[in-house]
């Protein structure tokens, strides 16, 4: 049957008809039986975009197909596929992923969820990307929401939300084995087995990663990385109306790192190169019930364990979370959503070195939220208004509100104009709350700096203004523009205290204290532009460009002199990329990517451009052979700073993969 399609298309192509927009393929399914129709694999071009075009926010969806065709081997790499996401590899282990500025290893303004489980660390206000993993083939999609999402998603969804959603076990029946080897990815093995019926389906998976160090000018190859992970998921249609999902993951790894550790007695600064021991796991269950009138409820509960032992710090954390959502259709015009969530996160932060101390070192971080949001159709199918707020009570700062108002106008079925005003907050983390971090400044005279969390740091706030436009400008071309103006207040600053002499260690030492404050304010503005062009049925081009302008300053009461420069110079102000998805034949795909990322003055990282390529071949059923090259345009280039010592060069990476899917 496929052969017939191929043949008819060859014929059409030969007569030149395939040159026209699309018509060559019309009617080619004529004469097929129902069974045959049911076995044709389709590309789902329009499903999510239809819904997407009806969303009053800057949303981009990375699909399973995008991930597979790009040949990426980790979640941060996959995030490069979305416009407006700043992704930088720091070294072989660490990543910095930001949205609309404030990019850092632990970007404090981006909330990340995997199947509804928050992986944003309350320890260090950000996401440890090196431990966020799953089988990439089991990811259904990654939804990237640029802009504040506090009303729905809660604290820390200030500049964006990244939702990683794995596939229903029903869709992953069968066997997957994928083996990859190359100069950097020295070994990468994915195994998954799924089965069951449509009423009860399951899968189990295991994966292992062994990665070589990146380029180091000083030849200290500290950043090799090994990681093993296993997990499962079951999906059960308990009744016609009830769906129950249970899933879990467990991981263990050793991640090479270099850390500057200050020793107090005798005073010294040690450059420690050793493995961080990272392990953990989670169990999650979700129950969804469809109610008679088309409304639905969802109850989500999870437990998450984090073990992190580094050269200068440790974290052992249990997180318990319960989340309830009720979605109601009220009359014809109202779509109402309300929910409650409670999260308790007891953690032990024992002292590894006396220069890095949490007091107390046992704590329970707590967040309780309630929210309600209504979408009201002002003019049916043309104009809708969404308004709502989240109320949030955290153990750090007490009450916060995150209201938003959004308007969506669809003048025609092919274009959408939307606007939003949103308030969002970033709650303090353990680090800012109670950490006392002492660092050696000089040995003669003996001087230290000391960053102090005195418990008074409060939430950072944002009021974000957004306008976006989406349009299907031609049958095969869609355009997405999002602009923003973000007004921040109470941003983190380091407020110098009065220097004093301390005589704890026998030798008098001068201490320069800095207290975590809320002394930076200002605005950022910019836009993201994305163009998706299906030039031919077999060729898709995705182009995007994003621009960021920052205008931050110390508040009048603040004496901070360094933070503004850092906030301004740690994210690229210009970024662009072109991705080409090409089906060379039925069995051969070629993907090419070119990207440009602007300079990061704070880390003295210059701008760079580089490209990736992947060719995949499926000569026989079930088997795929792929060759992938990443960062091809130079032997190595620097993407980010942050590690002590010389900047780490990210090397050209070439690897081959053999994939068996049945």
Write out the residues near another protein by the rule CB under 8 A.
Answer: 2, 5-6, 9-10, 13-14, 18, 22-23, 25-30, 32-35, 37-47, 50, 54, 170-171, 198, 240, 290, 294, 329, 332, 335, 377, 380-381, 413, 475, 536-539, 580, 582-586, 590, 592, 594, 611, 613, 632-634
CB of 555 to another protein, least distance (A): 44
Whichever of 322 and 535 has its CB closer to another protein, that residue is 535
Q: How far apart are CA 396 and CA 427, in angstroms?
A: 7
Whichever of 239 and 505 has its CB closer to another protein, that residue is 239
- Confirm if 488 and 522 have CB atoms less than 8 A apart: yes
Whichever of 39 and 265 has its CB closer to another protein, that residue is 39
- Confirm if 605 and 639 have CB atoms less than 8 A apart: yes
Q: How far apart are CA 67 and CA 90, in angstroms?
A: 21
Whichever of 7 and 320 has its CB closer to another protein, that residue is 7
**Selection from 180, 273, 185 nearest residue 223 by Cα:** 273
CB of 35 to another protein, least distance (A): 6
Find residue 207's DSSP bridge partners.
190, 229
Q: What stretches of 183-295 adopt beta strand conformation (E)? A: 185-196, 200-211, 225-237, 242-263, 268-290
CB of 144 to another protein, least distance (A): 22
Whichever of 330 and 364 has its CB closer to another protein, that residue is 330
CB of 65 to another protein, least distance (A): 9
Q: How far apart are CA 226 and CA 187, in angstroms?
A: 9
DSSP 132: -
Q: CB atoms < 10 A from the CB of 461, how many? A: 20
CB of 114 to another protein, least distance (A): 22
Whichever of 128 and 608 has its CB closer to another protein, that residue is 608
Whichever of 329 and 385 has its CB closer to another protein, that residue is 329
CB of 14 to another protein, least distance (A): 8
- My answer on whether omega of the bond before 266 falls inside 30° of 0, hence cis, is yes
Whichever of 260 and 290 has its CB closer to another protein, that residue is 290
Q: How far apart are CA 229 and CA 253, in angstroms?
A: 8
**Residue 235 token pair:** 């999906």
Find residue 49's DSSP bridge partners.
none
Q: How far apart are CA 560 and CA 557, in angstroms?
A: 9
60-63: which pairs have CB atoms within 8 A and are 24 or more residues apart? 60/84, 60/143, 60/144, 60/146, 60/480, 60/530, 61/141, 61/142, 61/143, 61/144, 62/141, 62/142, 62/143, 62/144, 63/141
CB of 173 to another protein, least distance (A): 8
Whichever of 25 and 318 has its CB closer to another protein, that residue is 25
CB of 380 to another protein, least distance (A): 8
CB of 300 to another protein, least distance (A): 20
φ/ψ of residue 338, rounded to 5: -140, 160
CB of 491 to another protein, least distance (A): 38
Give the CA distances from residue 572 to residues 82, 516, 605, 625, in Å, rounded to whole numbers and listed in that order: 15, 26, 10, 35
What is the β-pairing status of strands 160-166 and 110-114?
Answer: parallel
CB of 32 to another protein, least distance (A): 6
Give Dmax (Cα) for the chain.
Answer: 92
Q: CB atoms < 10 A from the CB of 104, how many? A: 25
Q: CB atoms < 10 A from the CB of 565, how many? A: 12
CB of 647 to another protein, least distance (A): 16
**Residue 271 token pair:** 């450059």
Whichever of 170 and 521 has its CB closer to another protein, that residue is 170
CB of 158 to another protein, least distance (A): 31
Whichever of 100 and 170 has its CB closer to another protein, that residue is 170
Q: How far apart are CA 529 and CA 471, in angstroms?
A: 12
Whichever of 51 and 456 has its CB closer to another protein, that residue is 51
Whichever of 417 and 555 has its CB closer to another protein, that residue is 417
CB of 539 to another protein, least distance (A): 8
Q: Read out DSSP for 56-100?
A: SSEEEEEEHHHHHHHT--SHHHHHTTSTTEEEEE-SSS-EEEEES
Whichever of 373 and 518 has its CB closer to another protein, that residue is 373
Does residue 432 sit in helix, strand or coil? helix
**Selection from 85, 79, 67 nearest residue 136 by Cα:** 67
Find residue 269's DSSP bridge partners.
262
């Amino acid at each position: 049957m496929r052969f017939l399609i191929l043949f008819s298309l060859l014929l059409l192509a030969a007569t030149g008809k395939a040159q026209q927009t699309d018509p060559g393929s019309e009617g080619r399914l004529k004469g097929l039986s129902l069974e045959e129709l049911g076995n044709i694999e389709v590309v789902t071009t329009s499903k999510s975009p239809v819904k997407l075009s009806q969303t009053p926010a800057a949303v981009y969806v990375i699909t399973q197909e995008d991930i597979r065709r790009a040949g990426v081997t980790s979640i941060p790499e996959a995030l490069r596929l979305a416009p407006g996401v700043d992704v930088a590899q720091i070294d072989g282990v660490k990543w910095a992923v930001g949205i609309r500025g404030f990019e850092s290893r632990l970007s404090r303004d981006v909330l990340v969820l995997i199947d509804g489980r928050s992986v944003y660390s309350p320890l260090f206000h950000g996401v440890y990307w090196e431990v966020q993993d799953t089988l990439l083939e089991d990811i259904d999609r990654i939804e990237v929401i640029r802009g504040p999402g506090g009303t729905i998603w809660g604290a820390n969804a200030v500049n964006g939300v990244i939702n990683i959603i794995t596939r229903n076990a029903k869709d992953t029946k069968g066997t997957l084995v994928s083996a990859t080897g190359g100069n950097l990815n020295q070994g990468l093995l994915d195994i998954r087995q799924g089965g069951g019926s449509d009423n009860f389906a399951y899968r189990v998976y295991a994966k292992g990663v062994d990665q070589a160090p990146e380029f180091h000018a000083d030849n200290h190859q500290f950043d090799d990385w090994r990681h093993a992970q296993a997990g499962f998921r079951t999906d059960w249609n308990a009744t016609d109306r009830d769906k129950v999902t249970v899933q879990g993951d467990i991981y263990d790894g050793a991640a090479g790192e270099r850390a500057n550790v200050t020793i107090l007695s005798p005073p010294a600064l040690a450059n420690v190169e050793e493995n961080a021991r990272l392990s953990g796991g989670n169990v999650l269950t979700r129950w969804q019930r469809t109610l008679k009138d088309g409304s639905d409820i969802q109850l989500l509960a999870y437990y998450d364990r984090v073990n992190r032992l580094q050269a200068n710090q440790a974290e052992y954390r249990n997180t318990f979370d319960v989340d309830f959502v009720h979605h109601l259709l009220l009359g014809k015009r109202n779509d109402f959503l309300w929910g409650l969530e409670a999260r308790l996160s007891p953690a032990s932060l024992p002292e590894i070195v006396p220069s890095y101390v949490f007091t107390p070192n046992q704590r329970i971080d707590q967040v309780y939220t309630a929210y309600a949001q209504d979408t009201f159709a002002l003019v049916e199918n043309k104009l809708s208004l969404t308004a709502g707020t989240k109320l949030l009570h955290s153990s750090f700062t007490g009450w916060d509100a995150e209201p938003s108002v959004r308007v969506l106008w669809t003048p025609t079925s092919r274009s959408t104009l939307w606007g939003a005003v949103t308030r969002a907050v970033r709650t303090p983390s353990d680090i800012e709350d109670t950490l006392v971090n002492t660092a050696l400044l000089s040995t003669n005279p003996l001087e230290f700096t000391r960053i102090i969390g005195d418990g008074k740091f409060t939430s950072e706030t944002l009021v974000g203004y957004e306008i976006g436009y989406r349009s299907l400008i031609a049958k095969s071309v869609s355009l997405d523009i999002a602009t923003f103006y973000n007004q921040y207040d109470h941003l983190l600053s380091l407020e110098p205290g009065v220097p004093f002499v301390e005589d704890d260690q026998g030798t008098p030492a001068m201490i320069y204290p800095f207290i975590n404050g809320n002394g930076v304010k200002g605005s950022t503005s910019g836009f993201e532009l994305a163009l998706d062009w299906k030039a031919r049925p077999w060729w898709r081009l995705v182009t995007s460009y994003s621009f960021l302008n920052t205008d931050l300053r110390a508040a009048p009461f603040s004496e901070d002199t360094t933070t503004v420069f850092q906030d301004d110079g740690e994210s690229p102000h210009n970024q662009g990329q072109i991705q080409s998805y090409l089906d060379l034949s039925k069995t051969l795909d070629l993907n090419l990517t070119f990207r440009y990322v602007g300079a990061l003055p704070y880390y003295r990282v210059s701008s760079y451009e580089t490209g990736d390529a992947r060719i995949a071949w499926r000569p026989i059923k079930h088997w795929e052979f792929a060759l992938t090259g990443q960062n091809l345009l130079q032997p190595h280039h620097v993407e980010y700073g942050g590690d002590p010592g010389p900047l780490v060069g990210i090397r050209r990476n070439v690897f081959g993969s053999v994939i068996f899917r049945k």
